[in-house]
A and B are shown apart, each in its own frame.
Chain A
Amino acid sequence: MTNQQEWVFDEIDSVIRTCCGAMFGPERVPSAWASPEPGTEVRATSPDLFSFIDFEGPDVRGMLVLRQRKQDVLASHPLPRLDRSDADALDWASERANQVAGRIANRLNVKGVSIQIGLPATVYGRTNDPVCDFDPPARFVLTYEGESVRAYLCARVRDPNSATDDPPVRRSTSEGAILLF
């Protein structure tokens, strides 16, 4: 992997760590990052929610996966109720993943890495951690492992030899901002 590709991955790693911390609580951000060991099986006692969001831009494309526990998702619902259904959990898990991905996209944009995020898709699963099937120079990174959320990144960075310019400085508006025209 080239220095430029390493730089993009490092930026993405850093941004995902910041965004997950902002969304799920900084105390749950791990002090060290680790790649999953091949063959490691993580089997939950109850099905977890897996949210998948594709992203793509001129510099990088890939997928972000968030694995969340149903009880944590429902506990964070903006309208907490005891009779929330599985469908409610799926919907809110997707929205949480959408908000994490949006933060990531906005922060990367400021750093000159532009991505557009797709629509989140969430399913229940009890399986192993997701697998990244990109060829090198893709990298599969376990970016976050807390009590309630795991974030996975599978990405391919564009060959820097095809780059024509340095990354331009772009502007983004941060979360909670209200602009009236």
Chain B
Amino acid sequence: MTKKVLVVDDSRSVRDSLFELLSSGGYDVVTAEDGLDGVERIERTTDLSLVICDVNMPRLTGMDLLRRVKSQPAYAKLPILMLTTEGRAEVIREAKQLGACGWIVKPVSPNNLLATVRKVAGL
């Protein structure tokens, strides 16, 4: 069964490029354009294997998405990987405490990103 990955990013360019990359890697990809859209998408989708989430977004930030989603027991095991330009140690530490499964600082090479997705979500 094809694994489903949700990409949450307010940049359409980033969403499109991740869609292309992950689709070519064998994943079923769905997208959301900000944190609020992302939370709604997570709550509507039952078979997500991974969420890749930006941090700096309008309406609801990636950290707030993490907080909202991980406060619900139903999503305790849903892996959420943060993909962002943010690199401050204290923010990364907070994301880890909130339940993120990893942190990637943009820009990242497509091959490394795909390898990480395979490691976290499987294929």
Contact = CB atoms under 8 A, between A and B. Distances in A.
A13 interface: no
B25 interface: no
B100 interface: yes
B88 A175 contact: no
Given A102-B86, A177-B87, A95 B11 contact: yes
A176 interface: yes
Category for how many chain A residues contact B:
20 to 34
B58 interface: yes
A94 B11 contact: yes
Interface in B102-119: 102-109, 112-113, 116, 119
B105 A106 contact: yes
B116 to A, nearest CB: 5
Interface stretch (A26-34, A131-139, A165-173): A165-173
Contacts, number: 104
Interface residues of B, number: 35
Given A78-B17, A102-B86, A176 B103 contact: no
Interface of A: 77-79, 87-88, 91-92, 94-95, 98-99, 101-103, 105-106, 109, 114, 117-119, 170-181
29 contacts: A79-B13, A79-B16, A87-B12, A91-B12, A91-B13, A95-B14, A98-B56, A98-B85, A99-B106, A102-B85, A105-B88, A106-B86, A106-B88, A114-B88, A118-B56, A119-B57, A171-B88, A172-B87, A173-B92, A173-B105, A175-B107, A175-B108, A177-B104, A178-B112, A179-B92, A179-B103, A180-B116, A181-B102, A181-B103
Shortest 7 CB-CB contacts between residues of A and residues of B: A102-B85, A171-B89, A106-B87, A78-B17, A173-B87, A180-B102, A95-B11
